[in-house]
Structure 1
Amino acid sequence: MSRIVVKNLPKQISQEELKNHFSLKGSITDVRLIHKNGEFRRYAFIGYEGEGDASAACDYFHNTFIKQARVMVEMCHDYSSKERPESWAEKNKKHKEKKSNKSQLKEASTNNIETETKKEGKKKKERKKDEDSLKEKLLGQYKDDPSFTEFLKANKKGAKEGEGAAVFAEQESSSEAEEEEDQEEEEEKEDKLAQKKNVSDQDYLKSLMKTETQDKDHIEGKKPLKKKEKKEFYTVVIRATEMCKAKQSNSRTFTKKAVKAFLKPLKFKSLRIPKNARMVAYVGFKTEKEMKQSLQKDKSFLDGVRVHIVKHEKPSGNGDTSNQNTNTPWTAKEEALKQAEPVAESGKLFVRNLWYSVTEELLQELFQKYGEVTDISLPICKHTRRAKGFATITFLFPEHAVKAMTELDGTNFKGRILHILPAIEPETKEQQKENLSFKEKKAQEKKATAGSWHNWNTLFMGSSAVVDIMAERYNRSKQEILDSEGKQSVAVNLALGETQVVDETKRFLEENGVSLEAFSSPGVQRSKTVFLVKNLPARTTAKELVELFSKFGELGRVVLPPSGVTGIVEFLDSGEAKKAFRNLAYSKFKSLPLYLEWAPIQVFKTDFVAKPEETEEEDKKTEVDEITKKRRAISRFSPVT
């Protein structure tokens, strides 16, 4: 891991100061000061290019002082690492989970106890019912028995009393049955509330309290309170003119009495005079007719001040703000990301938070571990000539892209945390294609297949360009060269002229450091920065090619033979070369379409070396250094006083 965390930093420290302080132990790729709600939390993350630099900085700067603050420096760990310490958020989450588990266990135990008590109560009720039913059966058997009646008479209770007791017993049993039914209904309701998983003890008690209060309200006959609806009036704004504002004092405001006298005989329903605004009043009328009548008093005097009266336009409501939010560019990007083709189908990844000095070779080394990479697009800034911090990587097989995304997302790369997303394909212009002609559609199809190798012919030359060169060389007109009545046919003349031009171009390319053997080897790997430019008009100059291709990026070498029919163009960055190739392939240049072909990898025998260009500032620096050296030499031999 080439990333460190620095704790206990001073409150007032900038990103540049921290970078300069820690750059003693290696090249820094990232410095991130952590803030929360605009307040610095006194710790930062610093990324180094290599792991050795990060460990050396950790050992060197740990327990050292920065502006009277003793800092602690520690090594960072990846999110997936087992050595990574738990954050406070993770600890709090685990603590909450433990609490919730305990509360769930308590609820389960209480529920079990309640169910057991309910079961016991139901069993007791069933026993009582059985006993009552037995008593009723026995009384029914001995009701007509004379000995039983004599037994009752022998006791103090009479027959009437016995009959009344029997009736009382029946009424009592019926009332008990009704009470039991009501209790069972209430218990069923309570069981339904208690069986809900997400209901806590407080919510359960609140629900019981609500039912009690609702019953009370129902008994007392109370009606629910209605919310007061805001009345909408037709509002106008009374505002003083700018000249009158300048003349009056800053504390001058309108009064209710003055506004009322100004608007007579009109009667307003609302009046609002803001405290912060000077000489402004908002007046609301009940009808639109009254509002229009008040507008007629525009440019009249209120309390000695000329005023303007304008209809008040209400700000856009929630619906308009929601529409504005949906039309913002970031919401459009979010929707495009949601609708993007999944990585398992496209095999394309969008990688961001990259180091600004990263190269395509480094990205190739990182991602080719997971599968064959077909294309890497790394945009370069034109001003700084460094990467913009993001790239697009395409795999041959989509499953390799999925694997790379799952394993590399959130990991450290050159001191920075990678963030990988599915890449969004460029929008297809199908509607424009439908309106194109057959010729334009064919041109677009050719442009789309310009990068395929089967369309390439290395030293292709157009017949019109060959005719122009032959006519210029032999001082003849095109009509004489293309004359079919001569000794030789036109095809033979063109073939002889083309072979002569091809030999001349080969000789010129070899003299200028181009390896022709690289073109002859089959299946050779193609370059990403150099390509051939073919089908040029005769006598095209190198200056014209530079003007054409320099729009897309910085050029290295431009090789063009004297005939000006076929040339070689080199870019310093592969991304700019791809952009130029994509835009200029089969485009029209001097009434002829350009044919582009990626050159072999070792097309040039030597690497490109930029010529050092000394600026005026560098010249001044060298002069100053020479003067200081002379002064030091003189001071050494000067006499000491």
Structure 2
Amino acid sequence: MTTRLIVKNLPSTCTEQQLRKFFEKYGQISDASLKYTKEGKFRGFAFVGFLDESSAANAISKSNQTFFNSKRLTVEECRPFGDANKPRAWSKYAKDSSAFKRAHGQEGFDESEKSDASSEPLAKKRKNDEKLDQFLEAKGFAVEKEVKLSKDKSEEAKKLMAELMEGIEGDTSLSLIFSGLPSSAKGKNVKEWLNPIRVKAMKIARNEDVAAAFVTFNRPPDVRRALQKDGQFLGGFKIGIEKTETPEPEQEIHEEHGEEMESREKEEETVREKILETGRLFIRNLPYATKEDDLQFLFKNMEKYRKCKWLLIRRLEAAKDSPL
């Protein structure tokens, strides 16, 4: 038995955090991933991995056919491709499922079940057929596009980031850049993927292949929680999350701080010179019960002490006579 399970018939509002909380009582979870379409729509099933087989078996025996919110779950062992005991595909997004064939037509996919020799040229033809790809994308089927690694891609990525960061100024400490999003992704899809993290504002830039988003949050804890989702998948696309780099004028700050210190020192020197010219001292923050005799006793050993002028302002005398 494997340690990886497939959980079917999950509610559309399910999140990874809720899924982990539901299964963590059966054992320590190694990973959990919800599956989405290319458009970011949740497909209603997920994979959950445990660290040992006993925990996985315990999860199947105790959670299969139980309810998650209002949905009755089907929890099964995840079997590898080619396994004879692997259950038949049921999702409308899988080629082998009857739901997919009903949605796209049985005849159009019978040719794929022929021998490998006859199917290889057809597969190559499908990859190069742009009209067929557009038709499949309109029907919600994920089409694998050939990725060409060239200088044009890096230039397009730079243009996309430049378009995204255009007009953004000020403090960006609570903002993150999301890269690698599907080109059809909308703000609603990103917010659902980040749920329950709240988003304050969002800006999306896209090209023909991918999209990028500049997302601003309300609090620093939300930023830290969003960074933990770096490397996770949204609709089959691996999302990269990074902080925004805003160059700070450090030299100007130090110069301003140095000017303030110099002005304070000059002000203190002028005050000190005035005090030395008069030969008098001003003593503040004395206790309320201080008397002139106390000050004379304190300064009696000073050679330059000649006269102590007593000035005591009793601000609390009026408050003593007033009722509380």
User: TM-score, normalized by length of structure 1?
Assistant: 0.17
Please say which structure displays the higher CA radius of gyration: 1
Higher relative contact order (CA 8 A, sep 6+): 2
- Provide the TM-score with structure 2 as the length reference: 0.31
Specify which structure has the higher proportion of helix: 1
